[in-house]
Structure 1
């Protein structure tokens, strides 16, 4: 396992929000929280739909089409969240300067890297 993979595995095992910011708002997404939750519920419904399709022995290509739609919805959500993170958390750290700025930029780059690999 590479160092990057080990770091990613550690990130995946941490509780949501367990990074340097303490895990409690307000965050960049806080003002759009209701919209994000609505979007995530829709994605959850798509995932449940995939389960039903498999249970009902739906044609493979039809399931793959739905997988693609669900994947695109998650990617779109991730990009919106990333944009809000850059516009709020990273911008705030840049204003403050110091080591927090470097930490937030490095953290954002790692998140972008993970998104590109997925």
Structure 2
């Protein structure tokens, strides 16, 4: 088997996502964008620090949720496919990614 055939779907550092998955992820990011804009307006309108901090925490939770969804998709798709195709590097890449996420 040639080296090209062993590469995972993400080996070229791009991922073509199914339309439904892409739509869901973009919608999540749009909601997060709205939350961040809300925090910015709160700051500009002299909102109480605690109220802003609570909204920042909600933004962080929304990003964490997005990250979990994207990570699950990556593992089920790119990583699983890479392993099936004999790409041993994909597991090392996943470990490095998880280490960065868990800082």
Instruction: Please name the residue that 2:40 is paired with.
Output: 51
Q: Any stretches of 5+ residues in structure 1 without a counterpart?
A: 1-18
- Is 1:89–2:78 an aligned residue pair? yes
Q: Any stretches of 5+ residues in structure 2 without a counterpart?
A: 1-9
**SS of the residue aligned with 2:46?**
coil
TM-score normalised over the length of structure 1: 0.73
- Is 1:40–2:26 an aligned residue pair? no
How many residues of Structure 1 are paired with residues of Structure 2 in the alignment?
94
User: 1:50-98 CA distances to partner (integer Å, 9 max, x unpaired)?
Assistant: 110100010000000000000000011001100100000000011111x
* Alpha-carbon distance between aligned partners in 1 of 2:77 and 2:90, rounded to the nearest angstrom: 11
Larger radius of gyration: 2
Which moved further from structure 2: 43-52 or 102-111? 102-111
Q: CA RMSD in A?
A: 1.6
Q: Please, which of 26, 38, 45 is the counterpart of residue 16 of structure 2?
A: 26
TM-score normalised over the length of structure 2: 0.83
Pick 1 or 2: higher relative contact order, CA cutoff 8 A, min separation 6. Answer: 2
